[in-house]
């Protein structure tokens, strides 16, 4: 492993990327046989959750490397949790991606990479791993460690898994942009869950694809459900640096599903409808849940009957409310857990591990009912499998993703047809402007196009039995396309107009935020520290380090034998507007904070401390001078950060 690429793999059958005795799915057979000659090329592969898209992408990437079109791979994912999971998968597959005698390097890239690696090193040292540790590791291990000690150098590792944000910084006016871009240049860029990104992020992704193609790179885009306009846009952005005088793909977008689309200078546009994998074919029932009380009863009854149940909601505050209500309803009879984005890093790691243990492919003994209340963090890439899911109404592509977590794996005792329970208002033809917000007031701000939500509800009510994969494309194109069997209520169209205008503006801002390949480097351009560069629009956040204060001793929220690591594991990002008032620090607490900071390597620029005081078992509160402004802030390992009396998202 080093800056020189390891020997490329010899041609191998794609099946060796799969578990022993597993057969290639139709999508994987496409990846194993499609022509990969012809310079920079882009592939867009659309298939349902569980169809083996990850393995198909790796089979195709290995063939591109074997053909001399690339030297490595970067797997770009939407969240840190999905990047962590992909990194662990790639660790096991790494020997199969290169020649037998190669020693490739593998890197994890996201905002908490350094912390995760420091934690692993500290834990290994504490366990005393023995001879390799005493010798300082192999040359390959040392090179990988050197590459991975900085996110910018990490792009020079042979194989990388990380968030999409780290790749997007390669085409934004941030320091070390060129280092990132050069590291990506000879890699196959794999973008997973492409449907999950907001319009602003997609605008920057367009720039990244254009740069990547211009530098001779190839790309693979994966999605369960991608509107045809979006698919066309991604391919066009890749193509235009190769054929600047030809702005047409030559044929309209195909509507088949599953679908593999590709483009290269040699072959032009290819669109191949793929046979659906046997394991992807299934029928799903959709049942309407009229209100939140009915949703609570349904979840509680299923868990008492021994089922593994997910209550999936659209905002963190809704999740905390549902969690509290379910714990009160089922008591100690059923274990209830909560997973959302507002946990300190140490607690978030524990939550990820617990989710996979209780609801993953290999899970704790059956027959024990359990409930997971979660937000969109469980929607993407994590291999979770629920017996029962009750979800709030969300955009159709999100619901298809969520449905993929219901009966994902074969298990003994499952009979009949899986059901997706959707809590939603009745899609009446004369629905008022608050049709969605009256039932889901917080989510109304998250999903602002209520006409699209109404179309989704109408489709699900009109056709409550769904056949996959056939219905996946039909549903997405019906909601996002130009034609729909009935008009959405007039009072909902204002939200659609406003949201569509906002989406166009955000996409335009994303396009303008990215560097232009044709412009080159210009004098006078403003280049920022990467901390100031936005790869996603949204509410501005600030990172804090949480602490416990008993009036005398200040200690980090996380428990770890290395105190510096404990402070870093205690970090959490909080919307800036939520923590504006000064905390009510006594002179003793002020001195304790100053003493703690003095011992930090980042004492001059590190996050500030939020010191909580005990408010009972597992509950801690932040004393504040202006309690009316914020309504109080609490934290616990079970509920996360709570803004008391908050009515906001």
**pLDDT of 593-643, one tens digit each?**
999 999 999 999 889 999 999 988 888 998 776 555 445 789 999 999 998
Stated as kind and residue range, the H or E segment containing 611 is strand 608-614
| Residue 543, φ and ψ in degrees, nearest 5 | -90, 135
pLDDT score of 247 = 80
Query: What is the 8-class DSSP label of residue 624?
Result: B
Q: Which residues contact 205 (CB under 8 A, 6 or more apart)?
A: 164, 168, 191, 194, 197, 234, 510
pLDDT score of 19 = 79
Q: Which of 80-84, 317-321, 408-412 has the highest mean pLDDT?
A: 317-321
pLDDT score of 381 = 63
Whether residue 223 is predicted with pLDDT greater than 70 in this model: the reply is yes
Transcribe 464-510 into DSSP letters. -EEEETHHHHHHHHHHHSS--SSPPPHHHHHHHHHHHHHHHHHHHHH
Identify whether the C-beta of residue 157 lies closer than 8 Å to the C-beta of residue 143. no
Q: Of how many residues is the chain composed?
A: 649
Whether residue 133 is predicted with pLDDT greater than 50 in this model: the reply is no
| Separation between Cα atoms, residue 15 and residue 1, nearest integer Å | 26
Count of Cβ atoms closer than 10 Å to residue 503 Cβ: 16
| Separation between Cα atoms, residue 326 and residue 319, nearest integer Å | 10
pLDDT score of 241 = 87
Whether residue 250 is predicted with pLDDT greater than 90 in this model: the reply is no
| pLDDT, tens only, 532-557 | 567 776 677 889 999 999 999 999 99
pLDDT score of 263 = 95
| Range 287-292 average pLDDT | 96
| Separation between Cα atoms, residue 180 and residue 355, nearest integer Å | 33
Tell which wins on pLDDT, 79 or 443. 443
| pLDDT, tens only, 375-416 | 998 887 678 999 999 999 999 999 999 999 999 888 888 889
| Range 562-567 average pLDDT | 94
Percent of the chain with pLDDT over 90: 52
pLDDT tier, 508 (very low <50, low <70, confident <90, very high otherwise)? confident
Whether residue 60 is predicted with pLDDT greater than 70 in this model: the reply is yes
SS3 616: coil
Q: Which residues contact 573 (CB under 8 A, 6 or more apart)?
A: 541, 542, 543, 544
| Range 135-142 average pLDDT | 45
Stated as kind and residue range, the H or E segment containing 304 is helix 292-304
| Range 356-375 average pLDDT | 89
pLDDT score of 370 = 96
Domains located in the chain, CATH noted: 28-273 (3.40.50.300), 281-502 (3.40.50.300), 539-643 (no CATH)
Give the CA distances from residue 327 to residues 299, 300, 322, 333, 370, in Å, rounded to whole numbers and listed in that order: 11, 9, 9, 9, 11
Whether residue 645 is predicted with pLDDT greater than 80 in this model: the reply is no
Whether residue 80 is predicted with pLDDT greater than 70 in this model: the reply is yes
pLDDT score of 118 = 65
Hunting for tokens 């699209």 — which residue is that?
Answer: 452
| Separation between Cα atoms, residue 585 and residue 559, nearest integer Å | 23
| Range 53-72 average pLDDT | 93
| Range 566-587 average pLDDT | 81
Q: What does pLDDT average to over the chain?
A: 86
pLDDT score of 152 = 60
| Range 257-273 average pLDDT | 94
Label the pairing between strands 388-392 and 308-312.
parallel
Give the CA distances from residue 29 to residues 25, 35, 49, 277, 473, in Å, rounded to whole numbers and listed in that order: 6, 12, 17, 11, 21
Q: Which of 459-468, 508-517, 637-646 has the highest mean pLDDT?
A: 459-468
Whether residue 238 is predicted with pLDDT greater than 50 in this model: the reply is yes
| Separation between Cα atoms, residue 387 and residue 409, nearest integer Å | 10
| Range 172-191 average pLDDT | 88
For the record, the structure tokens of 138 come out as 């192999």
pLDDT tier, 310 (very low <50, low <70, confident <90, very high otherwise)? very high
pLDDT score of 120 = 63
């Amino acid at each position: 492993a080093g800056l020189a690429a390891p020997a490329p793999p010899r041609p191998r059958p794609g099946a060796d990327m799969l578990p022993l005795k597993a057969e290639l799915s139709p999508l994987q057979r496409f990846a194993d046989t499609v022509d990969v000659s012809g310079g920079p090329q882009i592939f867009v592969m659309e298939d349902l959750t569980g169809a083996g898209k990850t393995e198909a992408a790796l089979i195709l990437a290995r063939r591109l490397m074997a053909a001399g079109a690339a030297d490595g791979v970067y797997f770009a994912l939407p969240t840190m949790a999905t990047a962590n999971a992909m990194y662990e998968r790639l660790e096991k597959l790494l020997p199969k991606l290169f020649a037998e005698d190669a020693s490739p390097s593998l890197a994890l890239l996201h905002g908490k990479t350094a912390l995760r690696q420091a934690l692993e090193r500290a834990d290994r040292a504490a366990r005393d791993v023995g001879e390799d540790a005493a010798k300082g590791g192999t040359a390959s291990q040392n090179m990988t460690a050197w590459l991975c000690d900085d996110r910018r150098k990490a792009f020079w590792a042979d194989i990388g898994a990380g968030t999409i944000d780290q790749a997007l910084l390669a085409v934004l006016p941030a320091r070390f942009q060129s280092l990132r871009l050069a590291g990506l240049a000879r890699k196959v860029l794999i973008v997973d869950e492409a449907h999950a990104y907001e319009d602003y992020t997609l605008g920057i992704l367009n720039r990244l694809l254009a740069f990547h193609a211009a530098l001779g790179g190839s790309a693979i885009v994966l999605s369960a459900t991608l509107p045809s306009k979006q698919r066309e846009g991604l391919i066009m952005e890749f193509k235009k640096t190769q054929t600047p005088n030809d702005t047409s793909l030559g044929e309209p977008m195909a509507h088949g599903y599953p679908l593999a689309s590709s483009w290269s200078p040699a072959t032009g546009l290819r669109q191949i409808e793929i046979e659906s994998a046997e394991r992807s074919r299934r029928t799903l029932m959709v049942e309407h849940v009229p209100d939140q009380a009915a949703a609570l009863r349904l979840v509680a009854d299923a868990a008492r009957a021994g089922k593994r149940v997910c209550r999936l909601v659209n905002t963190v505050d809704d999740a905390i409310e549902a969690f509290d209500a379910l714990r009160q309803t089922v008591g100690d009879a059923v274990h209830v857990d909560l997973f959302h984005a507002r946990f300190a890093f140490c607690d978030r790691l524990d939550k990820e591990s617990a989710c996979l243990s209780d609801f993953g492919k290999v899970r704790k003994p059956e027959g024990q009912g359990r409930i997971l209340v979660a937000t969109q963090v469980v929607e993407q890439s994590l291999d979770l499998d629920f017996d029962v899911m009750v979800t709030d109404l969300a955009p159709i592509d999100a619901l298809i993703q969520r449905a993929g977590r219901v009966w994902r794996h074969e298990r003994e005792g499952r009979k009949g047809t899986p059901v997706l329970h959707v809590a939603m208002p009745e899609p009446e033809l004369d629905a008022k402007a608050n049709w969605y917000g009256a039932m889901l007031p917080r989510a109304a701000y998250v999903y602002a196009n209520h006409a699209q939500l109404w179309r989704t509800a109408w489709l699900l009510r009109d056709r409550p039995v769904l056949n996959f994969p056939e219905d996946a494309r039909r549903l997405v194109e019906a909601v996002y396309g130009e034609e729909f069997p009935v008009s959405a209520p007039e009072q909902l169209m204002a939200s659609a107009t406003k949201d569509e205008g906002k989406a166009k503006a955000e996409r335009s801002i994303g396009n303008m935020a990215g560097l232009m390949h044709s412009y080159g480097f210009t004098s006078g351009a403003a280049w920022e520290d990467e901390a100031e560069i936005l790869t996603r629009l949204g509410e501005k956040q600030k990172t804090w380090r949480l602490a416990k204060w008993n009036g005398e001793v200040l200690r980090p929220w996380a428990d770890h034998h290395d105190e510096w690591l404990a402070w870093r594991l205690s970090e959490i990002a909080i919307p800036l507007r939520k923590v504006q008032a000064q905390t009510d620090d006594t002179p003793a607490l002020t001195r304790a904070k100053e003493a703690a900071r003095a011992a930090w390597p980042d004492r001059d620029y590190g996050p500030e401390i939020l010191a909580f005081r005990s408010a009972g078992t597992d509950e801690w509160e932040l004393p504040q001078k202006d309690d009316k402004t914020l309504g109080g802030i609490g934290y616990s390992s079970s509920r996360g950060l709570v803004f008391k009396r908050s009515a906001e998202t």
